[in-house]
Structure 1
Amino acid sequence: MSVGIRFPTNLFGHPTDKRIEAVNSELEYWTNHSNVPITKVVFGHFPMSFTTSSEGGQRYESVFARQSISAYLCGHLHAKVSKQLWRHHQMRTEECSSSFWEWELGDWKESRLMRILAIDGGAVSFIDHTLNQPFQTSILITYPTDSRNMNILESKKGPPRNYINVLVFSEEPILNVSAIVFDSHNEFKIVEEMPLLPVASSSSQKPLFHAKWNAKNYKSPSPTRYWLQVIVLDSNGKKTLSERRPFSVEGKIAILHRPWLNRLIFEVEWEDAYKVLLWSNLAFTILLLFIPQVLYHFLKKKSSHQRWALSILTSPVQQRKAWFWLVLFLMEGANSKPFWFSLSLYVLWITQMPWFWGHATSENGEIAQMYISGWSIPFGMANYKLSSPDVMVITLPFLYLVVVPVVVLAYGLFAERAAAYLRYHRRAEDRANTADTTAEAARFLPGSPGPGALMNLSCKSKIKFVLIKFFGGWTRRIILLACLITATIHLKLSSMLMSAYGSTPVALSPPLTWMPILLLSVAAYCTVLPVG
């Protein structure tokens, strides 16, 4: 069955063994049925970083390397992230090494990007244009290619060619074309300047220009030492300069620094990265839930935890180690058995049971269930599991930005209450008489009335007192602010899913929509300090 899942869980391409074998057969056919060298360029929608393995564990990269393609052109990511998404794949086998370039095309819909691709004696080059404005004169150097993102392995290259080829596209007649070579090791001084002549052809436009040079003069261990720039003069006297770019006549590749976001999106194999991120998060959450129970078993059993905590709190602040606060956070955070059991049950639910229900395939389609492992789509008498790891766009933000913060903040609220109790008992023990103890109790919540005085307060004063009681000290206020931020993030994620898969089914899905807010609310209510 082939079913398309709606945005945002349509992130990955899912090839089958049959499809990969068909691509391999097509590429192999041209290798075996051609008497001349073939330059192979493959077009596809999904980048390799967002393409899963087939059911048999096969991937396109090994096929492309085995069939010695020059480039793979893809889309999907558009130009929102970057207009310079490229990646050099190098595959090593027992027989040989092979490589190919992967270039993201950008998009026409929003960015109006157009790519001109040229193949010149096996060398593949390209130039991109944004057509939001009137067409400008375009210059594409087809040889030598850019050593940053177009060169291929030296084993694929023949001897250096003693010429330069340039394609010029212009609405006006071209009067003059010249090329300039710069030496970056000598402050980019001009090494050579040469005129380019049009190559005779049947076309009246004659877009191809050519010049001879001595390629041996530009051999260098560095692929970025020599840079090339082409200058074009048209009949209107307008001068157009190409981008100055490095080249290597020996075919060396310069893998330069790229923005971290480009590397993260285009070079990380997200199928494998998702498994690591998912299970590391779940492992951390489970440890956070069960480590306190182990500590309870060893400390509470001997009734030593409270005495130890009191002794630490009575010591100077500078003597309190960081591990003390960590142990206090873990043990007191999980002190409420009903709440801890609710958290554990919720984490167990999201690992095994559906998160929410929604229209996964179409606006009026059947209701499907989304699990941590993907969508469960009803089809006849059976359910099909689809869209894994595409659901990472839902599961990872929810686990990292909602579930873990809910557990940590709930622990923080209970631990803050326990610390407040311990401080109160320490102060109370320092007082020798009942009057001082009662006065200290009145200071347990700053600004609170004395025992029995609440009934005599006005309605406005009662509301003020309740707010003071709820928000407590500065530590609790900071934790409550973090709870509010987490709740806001959760509501935004829920709103996004409602707009994508239907408001009603998603809103009526308690595990995703209700439980995080409910757990935070219960934790905040249960940790309000008593007065007097």
Structure 2
Amino acid sequence: MKQDEAEWVEYQNIMHDVVKRSGLNKSAFYDLRGNHDNFAVPVIGGPFDFFSKYSLHGQLKRSGKVSSITVETSKRKLLFVGFDSTMSTGLRGPTNLFGHPTDELLTEISSELSLLDSQSAWPVTKISFGHFPLSFSAASNSGKTLKDVFLKNSVMAYLCGHLHTRFGKNLKRHHESSHHTLYSNRLFQLNAHPNPSENTANSNGEIIEEFWEWEMGDWRKSRAMRILAIDRGLISFVDIDFKLGVNKTIILPTFPLDSRFTTSFQNQNCHTSDPSSCGTVRALVFPASPIVSVVAMVYDTSPEKLVVVLETPMTKLAGSRGDLYVAPLNFKAFEDPSPERFLLQIQATDIMGKSTYTERRPFSANGHHARLSWSWREFLVMGCQWDALYYPILWSLYYLAFSILLFPKAILSFSKKQYTYKNFKANRCVTYGLAWIFKELYEVPMVWYSMVGYMLYLVLCPWFSGQILSEGIERGYMTYRGWVLKINKMEKLEFLGFPDVMVVVLPHIFFIVLPAYTVIMALAAEKGIFHDHLLSVSSKKKDDHGSENKDSALMNNCKNRSEFILCRRWIRKILLAISLLICWRHFKNCRALTKAYEMNPIIHYPVYSLVIPLMLAYTIYKTRRT
């Protein structure tokens, strides 16, 4: 996976058109480098760095990896800090998946975020934005993370991209300080909000450090856009999906806040530091036609049927930037232990008589958080800290595989018992059954040695040699620890693309190696079962009719379904079909890697590409007869 300069020329033309139509100064636009903008870029600013050449960032001569923007109002300052955390040496995809913030970058981000802390008498609302979600951002060499920096500097929201809407539209996560959390909680989080029904204050009454992470949809494929508003320090947003149709009017409620996306600071700000902000319903309206009326409605969900408990007209606030509509609200009247009981909806009607409605958003006058659940795909990409999970998953699989392959071998080498399928049927013991399966596997010694050898190879040797940068630059060697570009016996190896290589390593072990090993053991066991079946049938027949009559007698004894399955070896046929599926998946992966890194399977990765299919083929051949 590498970049196409023609696409960058198209991007440049589109952004120039966007700037021209907006009427804004070009300096008001910020674009950030993502992993796709860093594919096959050996040096930032080099001939293959199209981002620096065609992006607004490059055209405006913005240097450095951190950009900050400060917006001042009469009572508040807003600080936006964006950063580029792509790897310094841009590898080709797919092993260019993670953000790689260095200690220097984290220090610079922290410095920008804390810049106004001692200079401003007014409160500061801080928002950070970058390309990678925190689940796909690696820790620095010292172990520090972006999450640590955001919590330390009281960031309220982190906006990111990368995943877009491919894995779901609910890619949002609430982060809290983890000083007293379990180790497992630092590896994954089961729901978007860890404690939706609890207050965010600890036992000492101190406010827990927290912020929201909001993944944004992409425009290119999903035609998604987000509008974010900051109203008296309270952050709200609306996501617009243009694939569902273009709304002539866009409405963004700014208060009451959606209880699914609130923080303790926002709740505290409303009730203590700025209680006047709680006295009105507020909404921004972006119309294509003149607006005739705007109405705020509050629904009560406690009865079996939705009941409108408040319906009030909203008026446009004179002197506001944009169309801000307000209406009086007795916020305390809606206090309730449930953060999902009351729902807010805004209706706007234009001069053509067309009405536009917002979704019904829950809100809580008590400051409680509503539950925000993930689908399993959303959990995998947002709830798992993959850079921390990579090695635990990898070594767990290896310990399991080596335990299965080596321990039974050592035990059975000193055992004098006869482990057969016949004895297993008599004993019905799981341990006995496993011993019998491994005994059958050891009857094909070449396969067992190959299985152990291949597992050692994947740990000790390079997997393949590929073109990881631009054409004309030397090839690199990929291991489970990353890519090695130069091998010098006098220097310590430098690994690039860690933990990005996990997108190759873990799928190969999960979906190719382990299934193949399971099928190999199943084929060996099936051979033993069929051999036992032959012996049981043959013992009931006379042996003086020759091999042809023996086979005929065998088929005549296939009376019931189980005997028919054994006679026809249907289990083996199913295993053969599974073997073909594994090989098909493996060759499909090899084809993708060949295209990505310009490799020849025979020359650049013969062991990786051929060992699994050859092991399966050899096992199938050796187990065809009893």
Distance 1:366-1:497 versus aligned 2 partners, 3 A rule: same
Displaced runs of 4 or more, over 6 A: 379-382, 444-447
Give, in whole Å, the separation in 1 of the partners of 2:601 and 2:137.
30
Contact 1:100 1:152 in 2 (8 A): no
Cα shift at 1:527: 1.7
Of 511, 525, 529, the match for 1:415: 525
Cα shift at 1:503: 3.8
Cα shift at 1:271: 1.5
Which piece of structure 1 moves more, 519-528 or 359-368? 359-368
Distance 1:184-1:338 versus aligned 2 partners, 3 A rule: same
Distance 1:416-1:53 versus aligned 2 partners, 3 A rule: same
Contact 1:424 1:444 in 2 (8 A): no
Of 87, 104, 107, the match for 1:18: 104
Distance 1:157-1:100 versus aligned 2 partners, 3 A rule: same
Cα shift at 1:195: 1.3
Is 1:109 the counterpart of 2:227? The answer is no
Distance 1:472-1:430 versus aligned 2 partners, 3 A rule: closer
Q: Which residue of structure 2 aligns with residue 145 of structure 1?
A: 257
Give, in whole Å, the separation in 2 of the partners of 1:513 and 1:444.
44
Is 1:366 the counterpart of 2:478? The answer is no
**Counterpart of 2:140 in 1: which secondary structure?**
coil
**Counterpart of 2:302 in 1: which secondary structure?**
helix
Give, in whole Å, the separation in 1 of the partners of 2:173 and 2:351.
39
**Counterpart of 1:281 in 2: which secondary structure?**
helix
**Rg larger in 1 or in 2?**
1
Q: Which residue of structure 2 aligns with residue 3 of structure 1?
A: 89
Corresponding residue pairs, total = 496
Give, in whole Å, the separation in 2 of the partners of 1:368 and 1:141.
52
Is 1:376 the counterpart of 2:484? The answer is yes
Of 287, 293, 299, the match for 1:182: 299
Q: Which residue of structure 2 aligns with residue 201 of structure 1?
A: 319
Amino acid in structure 2 at the alignment position of 1:72: Y
TM-score normalised per structure 2:
0.74
Give, in whole Å, the separation in 1 of the partners of 2:523 and 2:553.
17
Residue deviations 1:280-324, cap 9 Å, x none? 21112111211331232233xx2x315x654455x5xxx744544
Q: Which residue of structure 2 aligns with residue 395 of structure 1?
A: 505
**Counterpart of 1:172 in 2: which secondary structure?**
coil
Percent identical residues: 34
Which piece of structure 1 moves more, 127-136 or 77-86? 127-136
Residue deviations 1:112-147, cap 9 Å, x none? 222111001111011122345545200000111111
Unaligned runs of 5+ in 1: 448-470
Q: Which residue of structure 2 aligns with residue 100 of structure 1?
A: 211
- Where do residues 39-58 of structure 1 align in structure 2 (5 Å cutoff)? 39-58=125-144
Is 1:234 the counterpart of 2:350? The answer is yes
Distance 1:168-1:310 versus aligned 2 partners, 3 A rule: closer
Q: Which residue of structure 1 aligns with residue 418 of structure 2?
A: 305
Residue deviations 1:454-511, cap 9 Å, x none? xxxxxxxxxxxxxxxxx97222212211111111111111111112111426764112
Is 1:526 the counterpart of 2:612? The answer is no
Cα shift at 1:111: 1.5
Cα shift at 1:364: 4.4
Give, in whole Å, the separation in 2 of the partners of 1:72 and 1:440.
78
Contact 2:424 2:433 in 1 (8 A): no
- Where do residues 266-277 of structure 1 align in structure 2 (5 Å cutoff)? 266-277=382-393
Residue deviations 1:205-238, cap 9 Å, x none? x511111221111111111111111111111111
Q: Which residue of structure 1 aligns with residue 560 of structure 2?
A: none
Contact 1:355 1:371 in 2 (8 A): yes
Give, in whole Å, the separation in 2 of the partners of 1:131 and 1:419.
60
Amino acid in structure 2 at the alignment position of 1:20: L
RMSD of aligned residue pairs (Cα, Å): 2.6
- Where do residues 122-161 of structure 1 align in structure 2 (5 Å cutoff)? 122-131=233-242, 133-134=245-246, 136-153=248-265, 156-159=268-271, 160=275, 161=278
Give, in whole Å, the separation in 2 of the partners of 1:40 and 1:52.
23
Q: Which residue of structure 1 aligns with residue 544 of structure 2?
A: 435
Give, in whole Å, the separation in 1 of the partners of 2:260 and 2:306.
18
Residue deviations 1:398-450, cap 9 Å, x none? 1011111222222222222233333334444555x641675675469869xxx
Q: Which residue of structure 1 aligns with residue 118 of structure 2?
A: 32
Distance 1:440-1:26 versus aligned 2 partners, 3 A rule: farther
Distance 1:165-1:326 versus aligned 2 partners, 3 A rule: same
Contact 1:357 1:505 in 2 (8 A): no
Distance 1:443-1:508 versus aligned 2 partners, 3 A rule: farther
Give, in whole Å, the separation in 2 of the partners of 1:345 and 1:75.
41
**Counterpart of 1:32 in 2: which secondary structure?**
coil
Q: Which residue of structure 2 aligns with residue 456 of structure 1?
A: none
Contact 1:153 1:252 in 2 (8 A): no
Give, in whole Å, the separation in 1 of the partners of 2:442 and 2:398.
18
Amino acid in structure 1 at the alignment position of 2:466: G
Which piece of structure 1 moves more, 335-344 or 502-511? 502-511
Give, in whole Å, the separation in 2 of the partners of 1:309 and 1:227.
64
Q: Which residue of structure 2 aligns with residue 483 of structure 1?
A: 579
**Counterpart of 1:31 in 2: which secondary structure?**
coil
Contact 1:363 1:501 in 2 (8 A): no
Contact 2:516 2:612 in 1 (8 A): yes
Residue deviations 1:247-290, cap 9 Å, x none? 11333211233322212211111112222221121112111211
Give, in whole Å, the separation in 1 of the partners of 2:579 and 2:332.
67
Give, in whole Å, the separation in 2 of the partners of 1:430 and 1:295.
35
Q: Which residue of structure 1 aligns with residue 197 of structure 2?
A: none
Give, in whole Å, the separation in 1 of the partners of 2:178 and 2:509.
37
